[in-house]
Every structure is written in C-alpha cells, then in structure tokens.
Amino acid sequence: MLALFDLDNTLLAGDSDFEWAQFLIDRGVLDREVYEARNQTFYDQYKAGTLDIHEFLDFQLKPLSRHPRQVLDAWHAQFMAERIAPMMRDSARALVERHRGEVRVIITATNSFVTAPIARAFGIEHLIATDPEIHDGEFTGGVCGTPCFREGKVARLEGWLAARGQSLKSIIKSTFYSDSHNDLPLLEQVSHPVAVDPDAALRAHATARGWPVISLG
C-alpha cells in the first residue's frame, strides 16, 4: 500500500515555498521591495492554476546559488524552528501515523532543499520533490529533471515507482491527500483520492466525484 501526501496547505498549515522566500526577505537576504510582491504574485498564480512553474523556479532557486551550502543549511535550521514547526499540526502527524506500515511519501512541487528536512520531521521515509541542480555540492540556481508539479507529479511518481519495480497500477491501494486543484492529475490516478481542506475548485471536483473531503484544521 502507498500513502502519498502533498505538503503545503495539506500536512502543513501554510506554504513552505512562500514562507522560505519570506524568511529570506525578513533576514535581508532578498530585497523586500523587489521580492515580496513577486513572491505573493507567484503564490496567487499557483492558487489560480496559472503558475508558470519554470518562471517560478527561476525565482525560487536562483537565491540558492548565491550562498554557500553551509550558510543555507544554517538558515534552514532557523527556518524550521521559526516558520515550519508552528505549521506542523498534531492532526497532520496523526494522519501520517495512521498510515504506518505503508510506503509513505511526501510528493510536492516545493524544492527538495526546503522540503527534505520537513519530511524527516514528519517521520516520512520518502520524498519526491522538485530537485535543484547541484554542482560540486553547491546549488547552481537551475532545476534538475522534471519539476514535480501538476502532470509532472504523475511522471515523477511513476519514475520513482519504476525504479522500485512497481507502477501505480500494480499497487493494491494508493492514497493521495491534497488541498489543491493543481494536484488533480495525480488525484485522478490513485485508487483513494482525498481532498484535505481543499480549495474551491478541488472541493467542487471532489464533491462531484464522491471523493472524501477532510479537514486537518
């Protein structure tokens, strides 16, 4: 059995991608005047389903290339304590725990630098995320492979399963929890789609299809 979890606004009571940029702005690493409005614009586009993922990744990953990995890791530890820990609800931890004994995976469009420590904090063994390009241990500012977004989530999951000698069709029960209509391509592929505090578009789709709708709020 396979249990898939979207991260932002699903397991987390907030968006780690958005908060990482805000964290860097608040630290003065990124110029507030230049970056804050763009960060909000990208977030609004994501919610509206109009996000250009490559344009966003250029915005999100370029700052990683400007600082040594050691510095980034230190900032991320502070980010986890200040921004992420307050968004990790007991209800989300309980949901993850209910799937103990299954193969548990966080599958998220947010890049793996931001999300790998969050997956570990939830005790989830596997992460499929958008991967920043790395050269000699440092980030280049580019993206490696297919972004884990919309149809890309399906492709990335199928590739991950194929490496394990599996496919979605070969798995008896596959569950996916998500809040966003951007995840409809993958929600349509699993045997047990679940809408979690869904946006309006996903709520309407879930209701029409008879999918469970739950709240972790």
Q: Which residues are catalytic?
A: 6, 8
Helices (H), the chain: 16-26, 32-48, 53-61, 69-79, 90-98, 112-122, 151-163, 184-187, 200-209
The Cβ of residue 204 has, within 10 Å, a number of other Cβ atoms equal to 13
DSSP 8-state assignment for residue 7 = I
- Kindly state the tokens that stand for 193: 């789609």
Closest CA to 103 of 128, 130, 124, 129: 124
Dihedral sign computed on CA atoms, order 181, 182, 188, 190? negative
Q: Is residue 5 a contact partner of residue 106, using CB atoms and an 8 Å limit? A: yes
Dihedral sign computed on CA atoms, order 145, 184, 41, 120? negative
DSSP 8-state assignment for residue 10 = I
